[in-house]
Structure 1
């Protein structure tokens, strides 16, 4: 009887003090999953769903019938093959030149004082957002037929004429917008290089070339290859600045894709979807090559 009375008193005391028995809380991974739900929904809405729609659309003709005609067309069309070649050429050249300049720029930037670094990084970050139509307009003002730099260089006698709307002008613009991206990606990589490593190489009889060949490049290799991949994808996907500068006259993949879904001549969403899959396949191929090269280099230096 005493035990029952004691339990009743405890229950009464809990009710009077409004004491609630704590429930088992969620585990850490369950909390993490709940936090990620909005992000997963956004990924599904803006990445996965459009990708599935493009894949399905690439196999449909104008009558919504399943077919391979779209892929047959883009593989046989010389015009589309030319756009693929032009896009890859622009991406490769701008990535290679941009990487060389960015490596030198990032190396020089790391040798500056902290106050100067912050100011220059702020300026580079601002330049990285200066792209698209404003960038094309700036190139027209500076290097157009009556541009400021064009007239100045003509008066000096360095050039006879320069066509910014040509392949050369487009290449210069691609290299220009690759530089801020390359600098921002490569700048932190040089922090991994200990200055004492250079001294050790010198003590062992090696020079600057030996240091970069045996120590510097192997240490930064993963980041460099990753930067190359991002810069290549950045150039392959460029659209607004290319369209604004050339008015769609230069044949690249992004402009051709747009012409099939928003052009005034033809409306072929199936061909546009197939070209989008081809563009994605090229980028995936580059990723695979990047991984293979990285593994080979790792194996070489581990031996």
Structure 2
């Protein structure tokens, strides 16, 4: 056996632990959920999915999940783009501090984050009272859809900065200088060079932020004690049996959540291919 074959078999051998872990904790649970989603009191079939899409309550959960995830991801990535680009222009010491802070705050979620927002933006929160006294707002409900979008956006921004900051390394300064020498304005540079170069990173980051928001559970549960109607809350309630125990319906809702992410990923791949062909 030559060295190339030994290296190949060694690589495959090193892949075995990952494959076992991936199958045991990714493929097997997903297969179990998919199988259980097709089981109901009437037997095998798609009755759970029909019930989910015919129910206004479950449709509302799907709608709220998508709306909160989409808007928090969109606002988060816009702020992350501005922040990541600005970091390229500041001194290295400040850049390192902001990067470290973003790394820390990207893991600040769940119960501590919900508690912090209640103190700041709850009905009697410090910031809410200050804004009311200043006459900027009349009222604010942190426990509404708008409040959750703000809350979700908070933990989307640091993650977006961490993902997008390295992408700006692809923009070389001599490209801007060459474009300026040829008479291109700043807008022309971003339209024809900057945005096309950054498009794969922007789309990929948006999909990750969307997945991050769609699957968020601990923060919204801690904030609303499970009273806000989003898919992760509905799935957990039916598994835990807080109101009714229906793991098969929970599996169907989980598969709908997987379907949403699959659709987003497919659209993401299509947009990437389209942007690649357009750039060529």
Q: What corresponds to 1:27 in structure 2?
A: 6
Distance in 2 separating the partners of 1:41 and 1:268: 30
CA contact (8 A) 1:142 1:148 kept: yes
The alignment yields a C-alpha RMSD, in angstroms, of: 1.6
The corresponding residue for 1:61 is 40
Which residue is 1:41 aligned to? 20
Distance 1:74 1:49 in 2: 24
Native 8 Å contact 2:113 2:219 kept in 1:
yes
Greater shift, 83-92 or 145-154, is seen at: 145-154
The alpha carbon displacement at 1:157 in A equals 2.2
Report which stretch shifted further, 183-192 or 161-170.
161-170
Find out whether 1:273 has 2:251 as its counterpart: yes
Q: Name the residue aligned to 1:51.
A: 30
1:125 matched to 2:103? The reply is: yes
Counterpart of 1:295 (choices 264, 273, 277) is 273
Q: Write the distance in 2 (CA, Å) between the matches of 1:144 and 1:215.
A: 44
Q: TM-score, normalised by structure 1?
A: 0.88
Match of 1:191 in 2: 169
Out of 149, 154, 174, the residue aligned to residue 127 of structure 2 is 149
Is there any run of 5+ residues in structure 2 with no aligned partner, and where? Answer: none
CA contact (8 A) 1:166 1:246 kept: no
Find the structure with the greater CA-based Rg: 1
Q: What TM-score comes out, normalization by structure 2 length?
A: 0.95
More displaced, 90-99 or 258-267? 258-267
Q: Report how far residue 48 of structure 1 moved.
A: 1.1
Deviation at 1:24, TM superposition (A): 8.4
User: 8 Å contact 2:69–2:214 — kept in the other structure?
Assistant: yes
The residue matched to 1:27 in structure 2 has which SS?
Answer: helix
Q: Which residue of 2 aligns with 1:246?
A: 224
Structure 1: tracts of 5 or more residues without a match: 1-22
Do 1:60 and 1:66's aligned partners in 2 also have CA atoms closer than 8 Å? yes
